[in-house]
Amino acid sequence: MAEKFDFTNYFKEYPDENGFFGPYGGAYIEPELKAAMDEITQAYFTICKSSKFIAELREIRKNFQGRPTPITYCENLSRSIGDVQIYVKREDLNHSGAHKLNHCMGEVLLAKYMGKKKVIAETGAGQHGVALATAAAHFGLECDIYMGAVDIKKQAPNVARMKIMGANVIEVTDGLQTLKEAVDAAFAAYTREYKDCIYCIGSVVGPHPFPMMVRDFQSVVGFEAHDQFLEMTGELPDAVVACVGGGSNAAGFFSGFLTDPVKIYGVEPLGRGTNLGDHAASLTYGEEGVMHGFNSVMLKDENGEPAPVYSCASGLDYPSSGPEHAFWKSIDRVQYDVIDDDAAIDAFYALSKNEGIIPAVESSHAVAYAMKLAREQKHGSILVNLSGRGDKDMDYVIDTFGLR
């Protein structure tokens, strides 16, 4: 239980020096890549303590990203349900419209301090690619984004954004021509070019040090929210809620509340239902296993390979989640639960109509869960991390689910 686990030195002790959160995490990769990851770990531990790096990151957060982002009290939405007060932390107001820029700015600044010329990544729906292209443009580094040919056709606006900001979008035509092939192509490129570049992972996943580094860069969201909420209301929220795909927005947000008497909920996408292939709820329905270089819980097919996954939110359809989430679940600090497509779309419209805030469909899962808690609990306060804005989803929602 949460009471028994001692969080006093949590951020010093987790992950351990090999990148483990309890049994989860690590770096299960070829020796050559391991050497590259060790170089990044070393550099990170040195650079992130330097006052120059810290000052530069602070300045960028304030004057480029627009941090701190505010907290908004959703009075109309709360009243429409009952007596529970729902608040949202506005990562949708972060420059480029989502929380992803928090870790991309950190990763690319690190690359610059390491003397690298280029950053590399894969992208599926294009959100990570756009955030990384934004950061690379700001710091004047080259940026290679690997993307499946099928995804390039589907995500024309994001491809245009990346190209306008000067990124090279490299079309991957192997296999099914989607995210999995893009990951393979990007890793192959990194293995060839690691001396000149770093691979920027898009969530708290992948080999050590990425789950730790991405959490650290995202933790600004949780620490800001903790102090802002106290200042606004004189107390802490009773519960905090965030959606979990790979788990970066949730990990950063939860970091601010781990040691407090606050209930923490991570929300996974149930998509169309509980059958394998219809959802992406890896913490809820998955089992322990290694994929993409780390040990965590994952959804497996009958051959033990990563299973196909689905969610209306393309940012949430990943067959695993970060190792730290698997750990928080194992020690009972965070409760993980699910929201299906339909409830997420209801919440998308509820927040839009009641508050004039159009949330990303990913974030709508967290809003839906807060609404569910509010119906059940009758009193108290809930703070939701609104990970991104929904402009990118408007056409898709209307075409697929209709105007509600």
Ligand X SMILES: *Cc1c(COP(=O)(O)O)cnc(C)c1O
Total residues contacting ligand X by CB under 6 A comes to 19
Are the C-beta atoms of 245 and 99 separated by less than 8 Å? no
Q: What share of the chain is helix, strand, coil (3-state, %, to 5)?
A: 50, 20, 35
Select 84 or 134, whichever has its Cβ closest to ligand X.
134
Site for ligand X in 307-366 (CB under 6 A): 315-316, 360, 362-363
74, 104, 200, 312: the active-site residue: 74
Q: Which stretch binds ligand X (CB under 6 A): 44-52, 172-180, 191-199, 237-245?
A: 237-245
> Binding to ligand X by residue 296, rule CB under 6 A?
no
Site for ligand X in 361-380 (CB under 6 A): 362-363
* Least CB distance to ligand X at residue 205 (A): 8
* Least CB distance to ligand X at residue 363 (A): 5
> Binding to ligand X by residue 387, rule CB under 6 A?
yes
User: Known catalytic residue: 99?
Assistant: yes
Which x/- pattern over 190-219 shows residues binding ligand X (rule: CB under 6 A)? -------------x----------------
DSSP of 364-398, one letter per residue? HHHHHHHHHHHHHH-SSEEEEEE-BBSGGGHHHHH
How far apart CA 384 and CA 238 sit, in angstroms, is 11
* Least CB distance to ligand X at residue 246 (A): 4
Are the C-beta atoms of 204 and 247 separated by less than 8 Å? yes
Nearest alpha carbon to residue 282 among 319, 230, 227, 336: 319
Contact pick of 29, 57, 71, 98 for ligand X (by CB under 6 A): 98
**DSSP symbol at 316:** G
Nearest alpha carbon to residue 342 among 387, 393, 286, 404: 404
Select 19 or 247, whichever has its Cβ closest to ligand X.
247
> Binding to ligand X by residue 244, rule CB under 6 A?
yes
Site for ligand X in 115-154 (CB under 6 A): 127
Residue 307 DSSP SS3: coil
Site for ligand X in 160-189 (CB under 6 A): none
Select 84 or 344, whichever has its Cβ closest to ligand X.
344
User: Known catalytic residue: 74?
Assistant: yes
Are the C-beta atoms of 270 and 338 separated by less than 8 Å? yes
Cross-sheet strand order for the sheet of 20-21: 20-21, 24-25, 294-298, 287-291
Cis before 15? omega within 30? yes
Question: What positions carry a catalytic annotation?
Answer: 74, 99
Residues at the contact surface with ligand X, assessed by CB under 6 A:
98, 100, 127, 203, 243-250, 315-316, 360, 362-363, 387-388
